[in-house]
A and B are shown apart, each in its own frame.
Chain A
Amino acid sequence: MAKSDRYQNRIELLQGTLDFLVLQTLQWGRQHGYGISQLIRINSGDVLHVDTGSLYPALHRLERRGWIAAEWRLSENNQRVRTYGLKAAGKKQLVHERSRWRQLTQAVAGVMNPDATESGV
């Protein structure tokens, strides 16, 4: 299975984490699915590769939830692309997800390094 080698450094994303990353990526502006996956890859230093089989269900799920809104636009090559933008409810959700994420990373850091937990962040 030589093909799997190049995936060894990739990190599998939990559904909640992917939702968070998508919302976070969209805060900088409207983006299509391909753009979102590229931005997540680039901004993570090429560590996080989002499977299209996870990304598109996530986008359509977030749309159903009313957190993001889809709109067809013309790309720079004059092709129709489906783009997504954050809605007000999505921005609220993003704030919530951020604080949850902070809690989680602090908790994990505490477990990894118990002596430092009292010093705060």
Chain B
Amino acid sequence: MTRPSWRRRRRDEELSEELQGHLRMAIRDRIAGGESPEEAADSARRDFGNVDLVAEVTRDMWGWRWLDQFARDVRHTLRTMRRSPGYTAIVPTTIIGVVGDVRQSDLVTEIRPMAYWPHPQLPYSAMTLAVRTSGERLAMVPLVEHEIRVLDPEQQ
């Protein structure tokens, strides 16, 4: 089960079709509201945010984690207090590096290439931390929370 199945590919395509549809409708409404096509496309894109990121966080819901209370708890812990909504930021101008195979979202999702950029250029409202443990999972939560706070005291 290392190759993405056709089913998975199809789902990916449908998700991107779904998100593009959202953008299209937003642009159309803005044009109907009196904006020029260029303005409408710009503002709708700005409002929507980064399509790839939205797809990424949406795809996260397809795996096993939607069920996993522990993962959700950790995710809530990592939700930052947003000073400004990050999704509306523009495409990053500096790429720190590209890594060929990363386990980005959890331990079971297929590895894939990933680009990294300075966080302030494209702040992200939530991050996921996957932890594998053999003991009582909920007992890990305070430990993980503690470690996060050591790294970033501003975390909730």
Contact with A along B127-149 (1 / 0, CB 8 A): 00000000000000000000000
Do most interface residues of chain B lie in helix, strand or loop, or is the interface mixed? helix
Which of A12, A33, A60, A81 is the most central at the interface, judged by chain B CB atoms within 10 Å of its CB? A60
Interface flag for B66 (CB, 8 Å):
yes
Task: Say whether B61 contacts A61, CB under 8 Å.
Answer: yes
Size bracket, chain B contacts: 20 to 34
Interface flag for B12 (CB, 8 Å):
no
Task: Say whether A64 contacts B66, CB under 8 Å.
Answer: yes
Size bracket, chain A contacts: 20 to 34
Do most interface residues of chain A lie in helix, strand or loop, or is the interface mixed? helix
Task: Say whether A52 contacts B17, CB under 8 Å.
Answer: no
Shortest 4 CB-CB contacts between residues of A and residues of B: A4-B84, A60-B61, A56-B58, A82-B18
Residue contacts A-B, CB under 8 angstroms, 25 given: A3-B88, A33-B18, A34-B21, A34-B22, A38-B29, A51-B49, A51-B85, A52-B49, A52-B87, A53-B54, A53-B57, A56-B54, A57-B57, A57-B60, A60-B58, A60-B61, A61-B61, A61-B66, A64-B62, A65-B66, A72-B14, A75-B21, A80-B17, A81-B18, A82-B17
